[in-house]
Structure 1
Amino acid sequence: MPLENSLRIVMAKKRIDNISELINVTGLSRNALNKLWHNENLESVKLGTLMTICDKLGIPLSELIQYDPEK
């Protein structure tokens, strides 16, 4: 899969222990975060969801999602 998700690594660095805490920090719904949390269908995650996570956690998008067309 050409997209790789680093959500759990980012959460560990930010000392966010679980998805419930991430929901509280970002204000996003569980449904909005499920694909990232379960690392499924990343291609269909909304850009707005990714931008909100990045804004709330103070990280660049490249730290959250990596794209490698060779994979």
Structure 2
Amino acid sequence: MSDHGNPHAPVHDPHAPLPGGGGLVAFATRRRVTIAMITVTMLLFGLIALRSLKVNLLPDLSYPTLTVRTE
């Protein structure tokens, strides 16, 4: 059933505020530049942290040894 020709059908306004404020998704779609700047800032902080991170892939292992000498 279509309300295309019905003059009493509710009209959807795409610019109308969402009920309940819209939340995080509505904020992210309204403030795209803000979200992009936050993302770039977090990426830069992550790269700085990655450069200063010390990681040993093969750490030095010292196995306990026992030497037996006979004379």
TM class, shorter-chain normalised? Answer: under 0.3
* TM-score, length of structure 2 as denominator length: 0.22
- Asked which structure has the greater CA Rg, the reply is 2
Higher RCO (C-alpha under 8 Å, 6+ residues apart): 1
The structure where helix makes up a greater share of residues is: 1
The structure where strand makes up a greater share of residues is: 1
* TM-score, length of structure 1 as denominator length: 0.22
